[in-house]
Amino acid sequence: MPGWRASAEFAMERQFALIELLADGRLHSGEVIARHLGVTRAAVWKALKKLVEEFGLELESERGRGYRLRIPLELLNGERIRSALSDAGRERLAALNIHRRIDSTNAELMRLASAGIPSGTACLAEQQTAGRGRRGRTWVSPFGVNLYLSLLWRYPLAPAALGGASLAVGAVLADMLHGLGAEGLALKWPNDLLWRRRKLAGLLLEVAGESQGPCHLVVGVGLNLRMGAGQGREIDQPWTTLTEVLGERAVGRNQLAGHLLEALSQALERYGREGLEPFLERWRAYDAYLGEPVGLAIGDQVIAGRHAGIAADGSLQLDTPTGRRAFQAGEVSLRPLESTQA
């Protein structure tokens, strides 16, 4: 019913207003919160409880002084993101759309692509309710602590020409973070960024278009920044955050989003001109499992062998008992095996 929808939307706006008030991590009294939200003191506790239950935010309280977030939030801000871009980067960025909550930034751009939005349109969100990883996995997306970013790029090429784009994007992501001081990064074919064998970021690339071109590509990046153990409890593999990687050198969330958009837009533009070749050596320098025994899962089958590097077309080369075989991105997943299984 329209009245109910309006009421629900108003309640959600009030929740976001509360998050914006508390984002600084300072103490705010119940009286200040009530006045800010335009509610009674009795309603303040209900609103605070909802922050914990619905948004997964951790609150602290001090008797007689008020409430605060245990970990302050740096909410996404378009002006601050654009200020981190070079002049050329701002020219490449056609539009910057920021959502408080969305199902998936990739899904949003894939929906809008058919409506003709321009190449260089970016979509970011504070939270995803249906974030997606590769092979249909869920991407855990708690509110305000990580980066969920997607970028649309259009090409006159056939979709098949973009088969190596995930490697190009992975290489520039690793390079960008290395430039900010991140040491020990590694790439797991075809689209995971690791630190000490724990997942730091993942990529989801989706392409659509005519069989002979043109086509459009949506690059999605999920980068763990400050996620707490409780917020990441649903992740089914070892993971880490950029805060752990960088320590005291940690970079602000908006500045990092700007650096990422700069690197992605530059790489996607270059890929359209030169293909995968300029990015191959950069990717190989971060190769996590080169020379190691691995298992490639294809459906229910696992093919054991030794990781022999990346071919010129971006395929994974695997030395097996029957000889060297190549596997294309999107068909397999890479899992390290114990050396005794090689």
Average pLDDT, the chain: 89
Closest CA to 311 of 330, 274, 283: 283
Number of domains in the chain: 3
The angle formed by the CA atoms of residues 281, 285 and 287, to the nearest 5 degrees, is: 110
User: Do 126 and 229 fall into the same domain?
Assistant: yes
Q: What is the C-alpha separation between 134 and 201, in angstroms, rounded?
A: 12
| Residue 2 in this model has a pLDDT that exceeds 80 | no
| Residue 3 in this model has a pLDDT that exceeds 50 | no
DSSP of 62-80: ETTTEEEESS------HHH
User: Do 99 and 190 fall into the same domain?
Assistant: yes
Q: What is the tens place of the pLDDT at every residue in 103-137?
A: 999 999 999 998 999 999 999 999 998 776 665 56
User: Do 164 and 228 fall into the same domain?
Assistant: yes
User: Do 104 and 12 fall into the same domain?
Assistant: no
Looking only at the bridges linking them, the beta strands covering 95-102 and 192-195 are: unpaired
User: Do 138 and 226 fall into the same domain?
Assistant: yes
CB 113 within 8 A of CB 152: yes
| Contacting residues for 208 by C-beta, under 8 A, at least 6 apart | 110, 113, 159, 215, 216
| Residue 342 in this model has a pLDDT that exceeds 50 | no
CB 73 within 8 A of CB 145: yes
Q: Of 69, 86, 112, which residue sits at a domain end?
A: 69
CB 109 within 8 A of CB 150: yes
User: Do 100 and 222 fall into the same domain?
Assistant: yes
CB 106 within 8 A of CB 139: no
| Residue 339 in this model has a pLDDT that exceeds 50 | no
User: Do 20 and 110 fall into the same domain?
Assistant: no
Q: What is the pTM of this model?
A: 0.91
Q: What is the tens place of the pLDDT at every residue in 55-92?
A: 888 899 999 899 999 989 999 999 999 999 999 999 99
User: Do 64 and 34 fall into the same domain?
Assistant: yes
| Residue 5 in this model has a pLDDT that exceeds 50 | no
Low-confidence winner among 129-133, 205-209, 337-341 (lowest mean pLDDT): 337-341
CB 209 within 8 A of CB 216: yes
What integer pLDDT is reported at residue 4 of this predicted model?
37
Q: Of 69, 91, 107, which residue sits at a domain end?
A: 69
What integer pLDDT is reported at residue 331 of this predicted model?
54
The catalytic site residues sit at 134, 199, 335
Closest CA to 210 of 162, 159, 271: 159
Looking only at the bridges linking them, the beta strands covering 316-320 and 66-69 are: unpaired
Q: What CATH number has the domain bearing residue 332?
A: 2.30.30.100
Most distant CA pair in the chain, distance: 73
State the residue for tokens 């075809």: 190
Q: What percent of the chain has pLDDT over 70?
A: 90
Q: Which of 142-146, 176-180, 335-339 has the highest mean pLDDT?
A: 176-180
**143-154 mean pLDDT:** 96
User: Do 153 and 298 fall into the same domain?
Assistant: no
Q: What CATH number has the domain bearing residue 36?
A: 1.10.10.10
Please count the other Cβ atoms lying within 10 Å of the Cβ belonging to residue 342. 14
User: Do 52 and 109 fall into the same domain?
Assistant: no
What integer pLDDT is reported at residue 284 of this predicted model?
97
| Residue 232 in this model has a pLDDT that exceeds 80 | no
User: Do 156 and 231 fall into the same domain?
Assistant: yes
The angle formed by the CA atoms of residues 318, 275 and 331, to the nearest 5 degrees, is: 35
Q: Of 37, 69, 101, which residue sits at a domain end?
A: 69
Q: What is the C-alpha separation between 109 and 215, in angstroms, rounded?
A: 14
| Contacting residues for 116 by C-beta, under 8 A, at least 6 apart | none
| Residue 6 in this model has a pLDDT that exceeds 60 | no
What integer pLDDT is reported at residue 285 of this predicted model?
96
| DSSP 8-state code for residue 250 | P
What integer pLDDT is reported at residue 51 of this predicted model?
87
Q: Determine the 3-state secondary structure of 177 from DSSP.
A: helix
Q: What is the C-alpha separation between 229 and 140, in angstroms, rounded?
A: 12
Q: Which of 63-72, 170-179, 189-198, 331-340 has the highest mean pLDDT?
A: 170-179
State the residue for tokens 């022999």: 308
User: Do 203 and 250 fall into the same domain?
Assistant: yes
What integer pLDDT is reported at residue 137 of this predicted model?
67
The parent domain of residue 224 ranges over 78-285
Whether the link from the prior residue into 214 is cis, omega within 30° of 0, is: yes
Q: What CATH number has the domain bearing residue 145?
A: 3.30.930.10
Please count the other Cβ atoms lying within 10 Å of the Cβ belonging to residue 4. 8
